[in-house]
Amino acid sequence: LREREESVRRIGIGDAGIERLRGTGGRIVIVDDHDEQAAHIVAELGKNHRPVHLGTMGNDLSSSINGVDLLIINAATKGFDGLRLLAHLRARESTRNLPILTLVDTGDRPRLLKALELGTNDIVSIPVDGHELSARAFTQVRRKRYTEFLRERLERNLEAAVTDVLTGLHNRRYMSSQLQSLVSRANLGGDQVAVLILDLDHFKIINDSFGHDAGDEVLREFAVRLATNVRALDLPCRLGGEEFVVVMPGTSLEDAQTIAERIRSNVSREPFRAKGMGEALTVTVSVGVAASVPDDTPETLLKRADQGVYEAKALGRDKVVV
Q: List, by residue number, the catalytic residues.
A: 242
In terms of Cβ atoms closer than 10 Å to its own Cβ (0-12, 13-18, 19+), residue 45 is buried
Query: Among 105, 216, 306, 311, which residue sits at the site for ligand GH3 (rule: CB under 6 A)?
Result: 216
Applying CB under 6 A, among 199, 221, 296, 318 the residue interacting with ligand GH3 is 199
CA angle, 85 then 86 then 87, to 5° = 90
Q: Is 318 in the site for Mg ion (CB under 5 A)?
A: no
23 vs 241, which CB is nearer to ligand GH3? 241
Q: Give the nearer residue to ligand GH3 in terms of CB position, either 81 or 243.
A: 243
Q: Which of 138, 203, 210, 244 touches Mg ion (CB under 5 A)?
A: 203
Nearer to ligand GH3, 133 or 169 (CB): 169
For the beta carbon of residue 312, count every other beta carbon within 10 angstroms.
25
* Interaction of residue 199 with Mg ion, rule CB under 5 A: yes
Peptide bond into 99 cis (omega under 30): no
Q: Is 313 in the site for ligand GH3 (CB under 6 A)?
A: yes
Q: Which stretch in 28-36, 199-207, 250-258, 300-308 sits in contact with ligand GH3 by CB under 6 A?
A: 199-207
Applying CB under 6 A, the site for ligand GH3 has a residue count of: 16
Which does residue 204 bind out of Mg ion, ligand GH3, none, counting CB within 5 to 8 angstroms by kind? ligand GH3
Q: E-strand spans in the chain?
A: 26-31, 52-55, 70-74, 100-105, 122-126, 193-200, 235-240, 243-249, 285-291, 320-321
Residue 215 is a binding residue for ligand GH3 (CB under 6 A): yes
C-alpha triplet 25, 30, 31: angle, nearest 5°: 165
User: What's 287's DSSP letter?
Assistant: E
Nearer to Mg ion, 221 or 242 (CB): 242
Amino acid at 203: F
Give the separation between CA 193 and CA 301, rounded to whole angstroms: 9
In the Cβ-directed half-sphere of 283, how many Cα atoms lie within 13 Å?
A: 32
164 contributes a contact to Mg ion by CB under 5 A? no
CA distance 57 to 98: 14
- Figure out which of the listed residues 151, 153, 204, 231 binds ligand GH3, where binding follows CB under 6 A: 204
Q: Does 239 bind ligand GH3 (CB under 6 A)?
A: no
Identity of residue 143? R
What distance in Å separates the CA atoms of residue 226 and residue 266, rounded to the nearest whole number?
9
Q: By CB under 6 A, is residue 209 in contact with ligand GH3?
A: no
| Residue span 110-149 as binding mask against ligand GH3, x where in contact by CB under 6 A, dash where not | ----------------------------------------
Can you tell me the distance from the alpha carbon of 233 to that of 306, in angstroms, rounded to the nearest whole number? 22
Residue nearest Mg ion by beta-carbon distance: 199
Please give the residue ranges that form the binding site for ligand GH3 (CB under 6 A): 166, 199-204, 207, 212, 215-216, 219, 241-242, 313, 317
Binding residues vs Mg ion (CB under 5 A): 199-200, 203, 242-243
